[in-house]
Every structure is written in structure tokens, then in C-alpha cells.
Amino acid sequence: MSIQTLYTAATGMNSLDTKLDVLANNLANANTTAFKAARCNFEDLMYKQLRLPGLQDPQGNFTPTGIAVGLGVRVQGTQTDFTQGNFQETDNPLDVAINGRGFFQVLDPFTGQTMYTREGDWSVNANYQLVIGSAQTGFIIQPPITVPQDMTNIIIGADGKVQVQQYNNLNYTIVGQLQLANFINPEGLFKLGQNLFQQTDSSGPPLLANPGQNGLGTLVPNTLELSNVDPVNTLVDLITTQRSFEMNSQIVQAADQIMQLITNLRRY
């Protein structure tokens, strides 16, 4: 009897432990550029049917309910919240945010595969190519954009056109066009870390277009998209999860005490 109680409470503690990990990661990335918070969903497990609903009683009437005992809970999945984060204006002309749907495309130099990101803090590498401003790996923007060596200023337009001004030249020259990628199911993207996502069969193939076209967002220059983590609501959720974990642990203690009581029964 109380054996099942132990297992049921254990499934609750195990699932809530996973949710605590998700919440901890959200709070840890509250200041990560363009980070998207995750949500942990749960589902109940199978039920032990002690009496099925709809059985006939001695008078031939069908019972309106049955007796079913649930066997616990498990994590159904984690969903990523892709809602827009707030914008932070900067003085860096290489900072750019996406206002709306879409991802930047970058090239993984190790695998040669295309990765996707919302991060827009760019830099220029030693080969004069636009890359993500990372101290870990030089992910090159796709399609690649190379700036001239004598560049004195750069402008990234809302439509994705990249224009540069060169030394002793007051006119701006277009050196590239940024493209955005969209997915029918962005929640199906594989999270790689470093603010990067990878295409999967669940996400579907990327739909490429220039910013502002085919439902894609526009670009906001001199701006970074902040994390969409809400620290206040996350802390409230953290406290609720902690209390739920404590209640499940109390169920384990209660079941253990009942089992101890039954074990100590004596016949006289």
C-alpha cells in the first residue's frame, strides 16, 4: 500500500528537481544577450484502475465513476519561450537586434554546418569578416560579409543592407545583404549553447528571406536584444517549486512512518 506512495512521491521529487534545473538555468542567463527562457511541462503517469467506470451495479445501472489511483508524474518536455526580449541601445554600430521573428545564420568553422542565433553583438575578425563577438569561436555570419580594410564607418539598415564608408570617401558602399532564417517550429531547434541553435527534423528546414520580408522581423541597429527572462516571476515559480518539493518529501516521510507502524504490528 504505502510502497506505491513512496514511488509516486519520488516521481514528483524527480520531476521537480528537473524543473529546478530549468529555473536555475533561466536565472543564470538573465543577462545573456538574446537568451530565451525555457518552461518545464509535466504530465501524469498511468493509473491503477481498481474499478472501471461504467460497470453495472446489481440493479443494472451503470456506475458514473470508477476508482483510479495515479502513479505519479514525469516531465513532458521543456518548451522555449521565443517572445521578444527588451532592447538596449548601444553606441556600437556592429550591434544589431532582430525585432520580430527570425534568426541570424552563422557558420561553424569546425563542422562546416550552419547554426542559428538571435545574438547580434558582432565584430570583425582578422580577415575583415563579420563574426559573432565571441572569445570562444569565430562564427562567421552567413552569407559572409567582408568589409574593406580602410573602413571608417559601417551602417546596418533595418532591411539588412550593410554599408560602409571608406577613407577619403564620403559616400557609403553596400558590401553585403543580411538574411534571416525562420522555422515552422522554432521550439524544435536543438540547443547547442553559446546562444546557438541547430536545425532538426522537428524544426523543419529554414525559410530564408531578407529582414522585413515573408513575416520576418526587421533589424534594429546600434541595439542588442536582452534576455526575455522575467526574474520576478521566475523567483516566484522557484519558491512554488521548492514548496512542492518539500511537500513530496513529507509524503515520503509519512509513507515511511506508516510502513514502520505496519511492520511493528504484533498479534496477541
Same domain, 208 and 159: yes
Q: 3-class DSSP state for residue 215? A: coil
In the chain, the number of structural domains is: 2
Same domain, 73 and 178: no
Per the structure, the complete domain to which residue 247 belongs is given by 2-82+229-263
Same domain, 35 and 115: no
Kindly indicate the confidence band of residue 136, based on its pLDDT and cuts at 50, 70 and 90.
Answer: confident
Q: What is the pTM of this model?
A: 0.87
Is it the case that residue 2 has pLDDT exceeding 90? no
Predicted confidence at residue 259, as pLDDT, reads 82
Same domain, 235 and 189: no
Same domain, 95 and 221: yes
DSSP states of 72-104 as a string?
-EEEEEEEE--PPPPEEE-S-TTBEEEESS-EE
Same domain, 149 and 110: yes
Interval 18-60: pLDDT, tens: 999 999 999 999 999 999 999 999 999 998 888 888 888 778 7
Is it the case that residue 139 has pLDDT exceeding 70? yes
User: pLDDT averaged over the chain?
Assistant: 91
d(CA 16, CA 41): 10
* Type of residue numbered 66: G
Interval 164-221: pLDDT, tens: 998 888 889 999 999 999 999 999 999 999 999 999 999 999 999 999 999 999 999 9
Please state, in angstroms and as integers, the Cα–Cα distance from residue 98 to each residue in 76, 83, 103, 126, 223, following that order. 30, 12, 8, 26, 9
